[in-house]
Structure 1
């Protein structure tokens, strides 16, 4: 059986992720990684991903592997922020410490997610029409709006120890996400450089979906007693807040990914004419 380059890449990334999960299991971790995907989940997902990459069936295994690998990649954005302070030397206290081996493993998990997911999605038909982009546009408002509401004195579901100021950063990211989502589905987006739109779409999808999966799956696993986590399960409002607010990140990321894939396919057909 002859394997395609995508199959080889997906199986290689999955095997490397499996090795990294086994190699880092016994290493000490930092407190910020509490609630991240357990090593055994990563190892099992990577093993399933390698098998699917080789045989490309059953599709359910490919989907399950992709989802669990996405959870395993959760926290990579936090790793990158911490690594920035380590590299630049900017004083940041505890935030300047990064789990290097774990970061490498999560980066491999993200690569395996994308490659195994690409194998699954190349046989998947996406819904027609621009609704994925408009859905992403709408979902992007949830988190910044909640932070704005809390900063203006709103108390519904606000954490007891919430002390953040006006959400300038979140509103800037809202503007970027809104423009990016619309660029994927509106006519003016076709006039932008294709590489710019694709790189922005896939980068945004990766950041949002990994952060969202970290919080959503981490909370679910904590509720089931599989892992420890930072969410106070005795506080119903905290559980609801994580599920709704951070769940919106996951949905936002998946919607952006779908809209980006649709844009990629549509523009590829135009270029092929």
Structure 2
């Protein structure tokens, strides 16, 4: 009798877990460690950089921005890396899937964007994991601590999964209205 009762309860539990707004809030937080790390590097920190070459590479990146966009260089000089800005925008996108102001945005655009960027970031993270496992050839990986990869690609993977789930949850919520 206990087993039959458990089977009847599972759909309700699944609905609460799979279709919750919590996915969007989790996605909003997933890339914040990445944004903080990139901003620390823009401020001159060497956190997670394990070789002199890596430290020099981060410094040269800032110097290379002088040659490009004045706006991006200005951001970088005050400690704001452009990819950190993208991470913050990704967090805002995730919040759009779970907040009342997000429901005022074009729903099809939110859904298509959520599906596509969610799947794309999971794919990129998966391919990176295959590089670390030796299945695919590695790119340049020297000079960074392993936890840096966990923060960057782990954060991307987590964001991709949670934003995809938040998109499915959003889709179900607007369908039921």
Normalized against structure 1, the TM-score is what?
Answer: 0.46
CA distance in 2, matches of 1:175, 1:260: 18
The corresponding residue for 2:119 is 206
Q: Matched residues in 2 for 1:171 and 1:238: separation?
A: 19
**Equivalent residue pairs, number:** 141
Aligned to 1:266: 173
Q: Where do 1:108-147 residues align within 5 Å?
A: 125=15, 126-147=17-38
Quickly say closer, same or farther: Cα 1:247–1:216, change in 2 above 3 A: farther
Offset of 1:129 from its aligned partner? 2.8
Deviation at 1:194, TM superposition (A): 0.9
Question: Does the CA-based 8 Å contact 2:98-2:166 persist in structure 1?
Answer: yes
Unaligned runs of 5+ residues in structure 2 are 1-13, 63-75
Q: Deviations over 1:15-64 (max 9, x none)?
A: xxxxxxxxxxxxxxxxxxxxxxxxxxxxxxxxxxxxxxxxxxxxxxxxxx
- Separation in 2, partners of 1:246, 1:131: 21
Q: Within the alignment, does 1:164 sit opposite 2:61 as a pair?
A: yes
Among residues 159, 172, 184, which one is paired with 2:97 in the alignment?
Answer: 184
CA distance in 2, matches of 1:241, 1:157: 6
Check if 1:175 corresponds to 2:104: no
After TM superposition, the score normalised by the length of structure 2 is: 0.68
**Aligned partner (choices 157, 162, 172) of residue 250 of structure 1:** 157
Q: How does 1:1-273 map to 2 (within 5 A)?
A: 125=15, 126-158=17-49, 159-160=54-55, 161-162=57-58, 163-165=60-62, 166=76, 167-219=80-132, 221-222=133-134, 226-230=135-139, 232=141, 237-270=144-177
Any unmatched runs of 5+ in structure 1? 1-123
Q: C-alpha root-mean-square deviation of aligned residues, in Å?
A: 2.3
Q: Offset at 1:269?
A: 2.1
SS at the partner of 1:229?
A: coil
* Moved >6 Å (runs of 4+): none
| SS, match of residue 176 in structure 2 | helix
- The alignment partner of 1:187 has SS state of coil
* Residue 195 of structure 1, CA deviation: 0.8
Find the residue that maps to 1:164 and give its secondary structure: helix
